[in-house]
Amino acid sequence: MIFTHIVSSALLGLLASAGLSAAAPVESRDVYAPKVLYPHAGTVWYSGQRHNVTWDNSDPPKSISNRAFIVMRQDVFFIPVVLAHDFDLRAGRVEVTVPDVVTGNFSIVLFGDSGNWGETFTINGVIP
């Protein structure tokens, strides 16, 4: 539990350095936090598979000011593994490889200007 807190803090540091701090200038930024559509409740992935994470790209802003990246949460904790980064948020999808995890329930966190997480889904991992 303590370890998880430490890695979560490290990730929050990363997020802050990615320009997500509340102190960042806001006037030139379009806040864009598209809704994650897949995976959703009931989805089961297996470690090592490739899947498209998809999100609602129906209303993209003219400019997107921050780097796009995808991580996962488990309960309230961020898992500090980056599933995809520097893809086009307007595309509405990006292919990821399901990481080697202990079997459990996760949710996808999609970061553009701000984070948005999807529904909880299951990964059958390399360790039951």
Ligand X SMILES: *[C@@H]1O[C@H](CO)[C@@H](O)[C@H](O)[C@H]1NC(C)=O
Phi, psi of 111 (to 5 degrees): -105, 125
126 with 100: CB under 8 angstroms? yes
- Give the C-alpha separation, 89 to 23, whole Å: 23
- Name the segment binding ligand X (CB under 6 A); options: 2-10, 64-72, 79-87, 103-111: 103-111
The reply on whether position 99 binds ligand X by CB under 6 A is no
Residue of 9, 21, 97, 105 interacting with ligand X (CB under 6 A): 105
- Backbone φ/ψ region at 39: left (φ over 0), alpha (ψ -120 to 50), beta: beta
The reply on whether position 122 binds ligand X by CB under 6 A is yes
Shortest spacing between CB 93 and ligand X, in angstroms: 6
- Name the segment binding ligand X (CB under 6 A); options: 16-24, 57-65, 73-81, 101-109: 101-109
The reply on whether position 103 binds ligand X by CB under 6 A is yes
- Give the C-alpha separation, 36 to 111, whole Å: 10
- Give the C-alpha separation, 71 to 77, whole Å: 11
Q: Scanning residues 39 to 98, which ones bind ligand X (CB under 6 A)?
A: 50-52, 93, 95
* Site for ligand X, rule CB under 6 A: 50-52, 93, 95, 103-105, 122
